[in-house]
Amino acid sequence: MNIEAIKAAVDAGQTVHWVNTGYIVHKDSLGQYLITYRHGGSTIGLTDQSGTRLNGDEAEFYVVGANNDQS
């Protein structure tokens, strides 16, 4: 998934994961898109500071319930 597809999915209320179901992409109250590790609470931004490069490979992001093997 690219940046815009990830943001659109989060905004639509879909559950987006990075790498595995332990990592969830969400939007905070300030409008920032973040990746949080559910079991430890560690959080990083979805993108680098420029907002143009994902903090991960596009192929590593997926929506639960979408046609993929990782759900």
The residue ranges of every structural domain in the chain are 3-63
Per-residue confidence at 2, pLDDT binned at 50, 70, 90? Answer: very high
One-character DSSP codes across the chain:
--HHHHHHHHHTT--EEESEEEEEEEE-TTS-EEEEETTT--EEESB-TTSSSBSS-GGGEEETTSSSS--
pLDDT at 65: 73
Q: Give the integer Cα–Cα distance in Å for 18 and 58.
A: 9
Per-residue pLDDT tens over the stretch 13-67 = 999 999 999 999 999 999 999 999 999 989 999 999 999 999 999 999 999 876 5
6, pLDDT greater than 90: yes
Q: What is the DSSP letter of 54?
A: B
